[in-house]
């Protein structure tokens, strides 16, 4: 079956195409070159005057794993207040800030997103995460396995094990947890919390293992690079949310000694201590550092006002924030003696000085980082805001007068502390396409997604140009997933099941010998039960595993 | 006095959600408008007049179909245990039910008076915050408990039950008065946070399980689990004041006037500042 998309204005930054009118051809779920004239087109879509982009990719969104379920359980009011009735096609669901899995998939697709990556898969809990993602329809998914506070790794560091041994363990973890990258959350800090440390700076020592977060970062970023994984080490740095954490973040950028690092939700790590209230924006310094350091990329983790819930593996920082919970309840817990978890509901308010400034800091970072290939659009769903607010965020980036209107409604003290109103930059459609498509695919290591070249998967989103970018991006005309039309006029018209993307670097299998002994002695699970098989993901025909090649960090294609 | 009467005319196969039929929501509507309102029944919607005969009795006793009639009193006749959520979210006015009621009777009740002459299902007075629920009959489990997933049950108001209640009466109760004249099942006052709960009859096992604060008033010594501590007998003058405040209630509690009790504190596995007071013969 040959499908033709005729006459759309195409934004495909991976190939340097910036609003060029062209036809696209799809066969068997892939984009193909222009066929011979005598080949019959079975279905043609007239996209003249429409904007065509690859399907958007959310490279950091908490859509699976234990903490999301805890958030769901903890917030029955969120689910009661936002029921979604079933339709002919879609099943019922509920939830605004922590929606049910099915609703998550539908809502992403209806916004033109075709992939989302869960950033905190705890290896011993990977099965839960994959089962939840397996229940998330339409979009592709994948995840980053969490290392860095697990005892086995910290023991290796303390014992000054050879880097090759660490590489093998990291590779084994990727295989076992079916992940596409490695994440480190508050390096060493989750473990240090259990030894009664309540803060851990980059060069502070873990009380028991006598290693510092810097050692963790150095070793893991090198392992990721040497294994050839495209996605650089995904770093949730120390001191999240602490005023003055700007210095920690700047030092963290240097900690990997040149190995690539991705600093996630960097807005939460860009705070200074100036002003009467000892809380100020560090956005300028952070953006300057990102501009200078080519090995650094970041996603913003923008906050938007309203009710949400913060769900993180960083039990140390969540424990400190639990007193700010709104509504007043929280869960801070250990998971399987190997990591932590903190879920704290939050309400960001525009009249609150700190919240208003956080909002401005996020936008300042977006606008001051020059290279859209290294800065990514996220709200750290649901930590800054639910993902359904992305169209609003895109409008804030693309429309200066709208942004300034919103800015003038903020807490006045916060306005006085921000330079946002003086920044004139407006993102172009091309830059938005880089941030949410081409750049994200390149960062995660999805070689056949995020672009519209020949051979790419036909994940395509079609919008109607509208000066109101929020309206434009919240309701695409068409969304194609692997060549199938899944959304028309912002409504799901067909439910499909996406792939789970992984990487499988080579490693020395004998690493399992020592690991098995460790699991037998200390863990709640046997080693063989930790490993998630392909069959478990593909069960019921609802998913499949797509292994992305380990070719190292892709270079820009232009 | 005017009243709007709903007489059940079918025997429902599925449960019927009667939450739209409260005085506030029907205020100012004509009988024809009310007849056309949809009620959920399972996965289908039924018109009110498919389920009920509707009649409106005016102040003079005759039929009154004027739109400005005052529907502060709603009466259900021939009611059955399939009618759920009667009086949900009611803020004022009165509802009287003759016959049995289904689950969630008086769910999130916020005011007014809801009277049932029959037996109620589970979760009666669930998440209630004010008003009065008077059941002349028995209630099922989870009387005055919280909504599913919530950490607090009933937050205020008065519940009177002349008959028996099922398990977990007053589960996570936070405030208010719940007076049961008959027996209570197992786990009475479980996880109670505050408020006053009285049972004149017997109670089942694990009374006060996980109770954190609050007062459970009994007339017979229950079998208690290990984490309820016996604190001996006391004369508590505040009981005279409390019973005095109950004088006006249409309940056997209005006749109580004792202040000699045996006191048990607990659940000491959960803070232990709750109390069980067992009234002793004077």
Kindly state the percentage of chain B with pLDDT values over 70.
95
In angstroms, what separates the C-alpha of B181 from chain A's closest C-alpha? 33
| Closest chain B CA to residue A77 | B150
Measured CA distances, A225 to A169, A329, A419, A436, B234 (Å): 14, 40, 37, 24, 74
In this structure, is the dihedral angle defined by the CA atoms of residues A244, A245, A249 and A254, taken in order, positive or negative? positive
pLDDT tens readout for residues A320-373: 999 999 999 999 999 888 889 999 999 999 999 999 999 999 999 999 999 999
Mean pLDDT on A314-320: 94
List residues of A whose CB lies inside 8 A of any B CB: 73, 76-77, 79-80, 329
Residue A558: predicted pLDDT: 33
Cα A387 off chain centre by:
11
The CATH class for the domain spanning B85-279 reads mainly beta
For residue B150, the chain A residue with the least C-alpha distance is: A76
Residue-wise pLDDT for A97-124, tens only, equals 999 999 999 999 999 999 999 999 999 9
Verify whether the Cβ–Cβ distance B149 to A76 is below 8 Å: yes
With bands split at pLDDT 50, 70 and 90, how would you rate the model's confidence at A299?
very high
* Gap from A76 CA to chain B (nearest CA, Å): 6
CATH number of A53-492: 3.20.20
Kindly state the DSSP code that residue B264 receives in the 8-state scheme.
E
Confidence band of A95 (pLDDT split at 50, 70, 90): very high
A80 and B151 within 8 Å at the Cβ level: the answer is: no
Size of interface A-B (CB pairs under 8 A): 9
Q: What is the distance in angstroms between the Cα of B150 and the nearest Cα belonging to chain A?
A: 7
Record the tokens describing residue A502, joined without a space.
């992984």
pLDDT band per the 50, 70, 90 thresholds, residue B56: confident
DSSP states of B121-175: -TTTTTT--EEEEEESS-B-SSTT-PPTT-S----SSEEEESS-B-TTTTTT--S
Cα(A471)–Cα(A493) distance, integer angstroms: 20
pLDDT score for A380:
95
Q: Which residues of A touch B150 (CB under 8 A)?
A: 76-77
B149: distance to nearest CA of chain A, Å? 6
What does A119-186 look like in DSSP terms, one character per residue?
Answer: EEE-GGGHHHHHHHHHTS-SSEEEEEEEESSSHHHHHHHHTT--HHHHHHHHHHHHHHHT-SEEEEET
Q: Which residues of B touch A76 (CB under 8 A)?
A: 147-150
pLDDT tens sequence across A417-434:
999 999 999 999 999 999
What percentage of chain B exceeds 90 in pLDDT?
88
Residues of A in contact with B193 (CB under 8 A): none
* A343 three-class SS: strand
Looking at residue B43, its pLDDT comes to 85
Q: Which residue on chain A is closest to B148 by alpha carbon?
A: A76
Is A206 in contact with A197 (CB distance < 8 Å)?
yes
Q: Is the pLDDT of residue A297 over 80?
A: yes
Interface test with A, best of B19, B107, B149 (most A CBs within 10 A): B149
Q: Do B150 and A329 touch (CB under 8 A)?
A: no
Q: Mutating which of A80, A87, A92, A327 best tests the B interface, going by the most B Cβ atoms within 10 A?
A: A80
What percentage of residues in chain A have a pLDDT greater than 70?
99
Closest chain A C-alpha to B40 CA, distance in angstroms: 13
**A contacts of B151 (beta carbons < 8 Å):** 329
User: What pLDDT shows up at residue A450?
Assistant: 96
b/e per residue A379-400 (b: at least 16 CB within 10 A):
bbbbbbbbbbbbbbbbbbbbbb
The label of the residue with tokens 């005011």 reads B111
Tokens for A7, please give them.
């006459």
- Test B148 with A76 for CB contact under 8 angstroms: yes
A95: chain B residues, CB-CB within 8 Å = none
The residue among A122, A179, A216, A109 whose CA lies nearest residue A444 is: A179
Instruction: Kindly state the average pLDDT of the residues A136-158.
Output: 96
Strand partners, B161: B135, B180
Question: Which residue in chain B has the smallest CA separation from A79?
Answer: B149
Contact A329 B151 (CB under 8 A): yes
Question: What are the angstrom distances between the C-alpha of A305 and each of A292, A299, A350, A361, A391?
Answer: 31, 19, 6, 14, 14
The DSSP code for A97 is S
ipTM value, please give it: 0.78
How many angstroms separate the CA of residue A347 from the nearest CA in chain B? Answer: 19
User: Residue B204: pLDDT above 80?
Assistant: yes
Q: Give the pairing of strands B177-180 and A544-548.
A: unpaired
Question: Closest residue of B to A86, CA-based?
Answer: B43
- Write the CB contacts of A139 (distance below 8 Å, at least 6 apart in sequence): A105, A108, A109, A113, A114, A115, A116, A481, A498
Predicted confidence (pLDDT) per residue in A535-558, tens digit: 999 987 788 999 999 876 544 333
Give A253-295 pLDDT, tens digit per residue.
999 989 999 999 999 999 999 999 999 999 999 999 999 999 9
Q: pLDDT tens digits, residue range A456-485? A: 999 999 999 999 999 999 999 999 999 999
* pLDDT for the residue B119: 98
Helix, strand, coil percentages (3-state) for chain A, rounded to 5, are 40, 25, 40
Q: DSSP string spanning B68-115?
A: T----EEEEEEE-TTEE-TTTT--SSEEEEEE---SSTTTT-EEEEEE
Cβ <8 Å between B150 and A73: no
Confidence class for position A75, pLDDT limits 50, 70, 90:
very high
Domain positions in chain B: 1-73, 85-279
Preferred mutation among A69, A72, A75, A76 to probe B, highest tally of B CBs within 10 A: A76
pLDDT for B70 equals: 59
In this predicted structure, the answer to whether residue B63 has a pLDDT above a threshold of 90 is: no
Backbone angles phi and psi of B6, in degrees to 5 = -115, 115
Cross-chain Cβ contact A73/B147 below 8 Å: no
For residue A546, whether the previous peptide bond is cis, meaning omega lies within 30 degrees of 0, is no
Q: Which residues of B touch A (CB under 8 A)?
A: 147-151
Q: Residue B68: pLDDT above 80?
A: no
Of A73, A76, A329, the CB nearest to B147: A76
Q: B147 to chain A, minimum CA–CA distance in Å? A: 9
Binary contact (A73, B149; C-beta < 8 A): yes
pLDDT above 90: percentage of residues in chain A: 94
Q: How many angstroms separate the CA atoms of A73 and A70, rounded?
A: 5
Strand B52-57 with B3-8, pairing? antiparallel
* 3-state SS class at A448: coil
Pairing of strands B260-266, B274-279: antiparallel
- CA-nearest of A51, A49, A45, A50 to A25 is A45
Cα–Cα–Cα angle for A420, A422, A423, nearest 5°? 70
The residue-averaged pLDDT of B218-224 equals: 95
pLDDT of residue B69: 52
Domain boundaries, chain A: 53-492, 500-548
- pLDDT at B77 exceeding the cut of 50: yes
């Amino acid at each position: 079956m040959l499908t033709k998309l005729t006459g759309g204005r195409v934004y495909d930054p991976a190939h340097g195409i910036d609003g060029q009118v062209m036809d696209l051809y799809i066969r068997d779920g892939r984009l193909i070159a222009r066929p011979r004239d005598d080949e019959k087109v079975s279905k043609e879509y007239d996209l003249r005057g429409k904007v065509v982009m690859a399907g958007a990719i959310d490279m950091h969104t908490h859509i699976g794993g234990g903490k999301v379920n805890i958030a769901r359980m903890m917030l029955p009011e969120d689910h009661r207040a936002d029921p979604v009735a079933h339709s002919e096609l879609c099943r019922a669901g509920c939830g605004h800030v922590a929606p049910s899995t099915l609703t998550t998939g539908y809502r992403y697709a209806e916004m033109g997103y075709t992939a989302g990556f869960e950033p905190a898969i705890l290896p011993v809990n990977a099965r839960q995460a994959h089962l939840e993602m397996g229940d998330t329809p339409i979009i592709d998914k994948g995840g980053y396995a969490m290392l860095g506070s697990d005892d086995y790794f910290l023991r290796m560091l303390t014992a000054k094990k050879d880097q090759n041994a660490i590489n093998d363990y990291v590779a084994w973890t990727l295989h076992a947890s079916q992940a596409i990258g490695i994440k480190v959350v508050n390096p060493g800090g989750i473990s240090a919390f259990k030894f009664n440390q309540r803060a851990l700076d980059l060069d502070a020592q873990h009380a028991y293992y006598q290693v510092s977060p810097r050692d963790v970062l150095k070793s893991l970023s090198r392992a990721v690079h040497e294994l050839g994984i495209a996605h650089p080490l995904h770093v949730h740095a120390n001191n999240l949310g602490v005023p003055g954490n700007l210095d920690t973040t700047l030092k963290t950028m240097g900690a990997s000694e040149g190995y690539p690092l991705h600093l996630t939700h960097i807005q939460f790590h860009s705070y200074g201590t100036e002003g009467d209230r000892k809380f100020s924006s560090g956005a300028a310094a952070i953006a300057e550092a990102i501009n200078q350091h080519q090995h650094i990329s970041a996603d913003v983790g923008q906050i938007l006002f309203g009710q949400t819930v913060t769900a993180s593996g960083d039990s140390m920082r969540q424990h400190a924030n639990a007193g700010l919970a709104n509504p007043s309840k929280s869960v801070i817990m250990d998971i399987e003696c190997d990591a932590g978890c903190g879920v704290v509901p939050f309400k960001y308010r525009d009249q609150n000085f700190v919240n208003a400034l956080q909002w401005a800091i996020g936008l300042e970072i977006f606008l001051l980082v020059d290279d859209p290939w290294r800065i990514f659009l996220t709200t750290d769903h649901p930590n800054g805001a639910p993902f359904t607010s992305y169209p609003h965020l895109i409008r804030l980036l693309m429309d200066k007068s709208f942004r300034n209107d919103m800015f003038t409604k903020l807490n006045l003290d916060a306005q006085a502390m921000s330079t946002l109103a003086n920044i004139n930059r407006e993102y172009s459609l091309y830059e938005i396409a880089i941030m949410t498509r081409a750049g994200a695919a390149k960062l995660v290591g999805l070689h056949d997604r995020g672009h519209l070249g020949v051979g790419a998967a036909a994940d395509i989103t079609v919008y109607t140009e509208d000066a109101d970018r929020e309206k434009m991006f919240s309701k695409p005309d068409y969304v194609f997933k692997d060549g199938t039309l899944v959304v028309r006029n912002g409504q799901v018209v067909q439910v499909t099941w996406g792939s789970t993307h992984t990487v499988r670097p080579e490693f020395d299998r004998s690493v399992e010998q020592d690991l098995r002994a460790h699991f037998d002695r200390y863990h709640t699970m046997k080693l063989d039960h930790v490993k998630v098989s392909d069959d478990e993901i593909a069960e019921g025909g609802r998913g499949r595993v797509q292994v992305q090649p380990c070719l190292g960090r892709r270079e820009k294609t232009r | 006095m005017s009243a709007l009467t709903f007489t059940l005319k079918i025997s429902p196969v599925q449960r019927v959600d009667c939450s739209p039929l409260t005085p506030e929501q029907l205020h100012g509507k004509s009988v024809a408008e009310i007849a056309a309102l949809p009620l959920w029944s399972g996965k289908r919607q039924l018109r009110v007049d498919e389920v009920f005969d509707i009649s409106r009795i005016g102040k003079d006793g005759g039929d009154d179909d004027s739109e400005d009639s005052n529907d502060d009193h709603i009466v259900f006749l021939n009611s059955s245990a399939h009618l759920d959520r009667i009086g949900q979210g009611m803020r004022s006015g009165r509802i009287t039910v003759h016959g049995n009621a289904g689950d969630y009777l008086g769910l999130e009740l916020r005011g007014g008076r809801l009277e049932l002459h029959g037996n109620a299902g589970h979760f009666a007075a669930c998440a209630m915050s004010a008003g009065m629920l008077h059941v002349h009959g028995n209630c099922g489990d989870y009387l005055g408990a919280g909504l599913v997933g919530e950490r607090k049950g009933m937050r205020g108001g008065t519940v009177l039950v002349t008959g028996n209640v099922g398990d977990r009466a007053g589960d996570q109760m936070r405030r208010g008065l719940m007076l049961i004249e008959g027996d209570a099942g197992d786990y009475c006052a479980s996880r109670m946070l505050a408020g006053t709960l009285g049972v004149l009859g017997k109670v089942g096992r694990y009374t006060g399980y996980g109770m954190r604060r609050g007062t459970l008033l009994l007339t017979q010594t229950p079998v208690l689990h290990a984490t309820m501590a016996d604190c001996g007998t006391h004369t508590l003058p505040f009981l005279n004041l409390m019973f005095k405040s109950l004088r006006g209630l249409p309940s056997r509690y209005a006749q109580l006037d004792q202040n000699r009790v045996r006191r048990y504190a607990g659940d000491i596995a959960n803070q232990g500042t709750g109390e069980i007071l067992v009234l002793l013969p004077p």
